[in-house]
């Protein structure tokens, strides 16, 4: 039988082995905890970096940078003027064009319209206000139609679907469908004259051929080498041109290349409300 001393030594060795096992287990737990903490820290840092990078990318997408090579004239074209004044009043006819209106609206009444005086209007957009002067002496039937559409809220909540920054430098708007083919469901005749030349600051009607005017119009901010087939019915203020210039410098997506040219503005222009003081 083992002596008392032998039993004490055996118990001591057993206790030492238990303490060694406990220490080893505690060390493993500390190692696992430290490793898990390191992994968690790395994951958090990576997440912050990804979020920051993604946010930066999103901000860059939401704020388009100016495209190089876009040259915009700064000098206004001479105010448009008819060589021979129109009769006062003139007769205006607004006829159905065979298409459903892109937004519910009533056409203006047919009949006589004054060809005298100007009307102030403001296009309030998400990019800033674009004040206009509508000139009845240039195109009384066109001015009458624009006022009619604006007062019915036809342009409110719409966007400009096309901009050209080379060759023809203009911003085209007035189609609630945003497709470039929409309109008010009616058409009226051109009010052009052979001497007409286009330039910075002119407000003119877009069309799909002779006497197909509807709701679409374009604002010239630079060069416009066009034949005199597009009715000019007013001018754009310098304040408004600055807004358009800023949009133009961001360029376009080329959606309308090669014909008719240009594309959707990289910096979208959304009409909030068009107001007329008439």
| CA-based max dimension of the chain | 138
**pLDDT grade for 61, boundaries at 50, 70 and 90:** very low
Q: Please report, for residues 23, 117, 146, 212, 245, the alpha-carbon distance to residue 239 in angstroms, rounded to integers and kept in the order given.
A: 79, 22, 21, 30, 10
- pLDDT on residue 69: 77
Whether residues 36 and 151 share a domain: the answer is no
- pLDDT on residue 85: 97
Average pLDDT score over residue span 68-96 = 95
- pLDDT on residue 29: 63
What is the domain extent for residue 240? 90-276
For the chain, the average pLDDT equals 86
Q: Tabulate helix, strand, coil % of the chain (nearest 5).
A: 30, 20, 50
Whether residues 104 and 210 share a domain: the answer is yes
The helix or strand, by DSSP H or E, that contains position 163, with its residue range, turns out to be: strand 162-164
Domain with residue 140: its CATH number is: 2.40.100.10
Does residue 271 register a pLDDT over 60? yes
- pLDDT on residue 198: 98
- pLDDT on residue 17: 60
**pLDDT grade for 62, boundaries at 50, 70 and 90:** very low
**If we measure between CA atoms, which residue out of 170, 173, 164, 157 comes closest to residue 216?**
173
- Residues 141-175: pLDDT tens digits? 999 999 999 999 999 999 999 999 988 999 999 99
Does residue 9 form part of some domain? yes
Structure tokens belonging to residue 204: 């003119």
Does residue 255 form part of some domain? yes
**If we measure between CA atoms, which residue out of 253, 73, 94 comes closest to residue 161?**
253
Q: Based on the structure, what is the number of domains in the chain?
A: 2
Structure tokens belonging to residue 143: 């001015």
Does residue 105 register a pLDDT over 50? yes
Q: Is pTM beyond 0.85 here?
A: no
Average pLDDT score over residue span 207-219 = 98
Question: Across-strand partners of 132?
Answer: 121, 236
């Amino acid at each position: 039988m083992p002596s008392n001393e032998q039993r004490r030594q055996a118990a001591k060795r057993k206790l030492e082995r238990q303490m060694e096992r406990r220490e080893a287990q505690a060390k493993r737990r500390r190692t696992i905890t430290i490793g898990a903490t390191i992994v968690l820290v790395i994951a958090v840092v990576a997440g912050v970096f990804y979020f920051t990078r993604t946010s930066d990318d999103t901000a860059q997408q939401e704020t388009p940078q100016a495209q190089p090579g876009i040259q915009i004239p700064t000098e206004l074209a001479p105010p448009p003027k008819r060589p021979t004044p129109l009769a006062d009043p003139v007769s205006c006819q607004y006829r159905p064009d065979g298409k459903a209106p892109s937004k519910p609206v009533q056409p203006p009444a047919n009949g006589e319209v004054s060809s005298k005086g100007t009307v102030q209007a403001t296009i309030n957009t998400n990019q800033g206000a674009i004040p206009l002067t509508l000139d009845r002496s240039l195109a009384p039937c066109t001015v009458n139609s624009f006022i009619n559409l604006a007062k019915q809220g036809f342009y409110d909540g719409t966007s400009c679907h096309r901009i050209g920054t080379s060759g023809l430098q203009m911003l085209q708007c007035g189609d609630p469908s945003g497709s470039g083919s929409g309109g008010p469901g009616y058409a009226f005749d051109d009010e052009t004259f052979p001497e007409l030349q286009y330039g910075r600051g002119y407000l003119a009607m877009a069309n799909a051929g002779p006497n197909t005017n509807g709701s679409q119009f374009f604002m010239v901010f630079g060069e416009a080498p066009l034949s005199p087939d597009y009715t000019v019915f007013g001018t754009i203020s310098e304040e408004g041109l600055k807004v358009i210039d800023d949009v133009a410098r961001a360029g376009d997506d080329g959606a309308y290349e090669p014909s008719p040219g240009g594309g959707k503005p990289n910096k979208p222009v959304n009409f909030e409300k068009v107001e007329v003081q008439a």
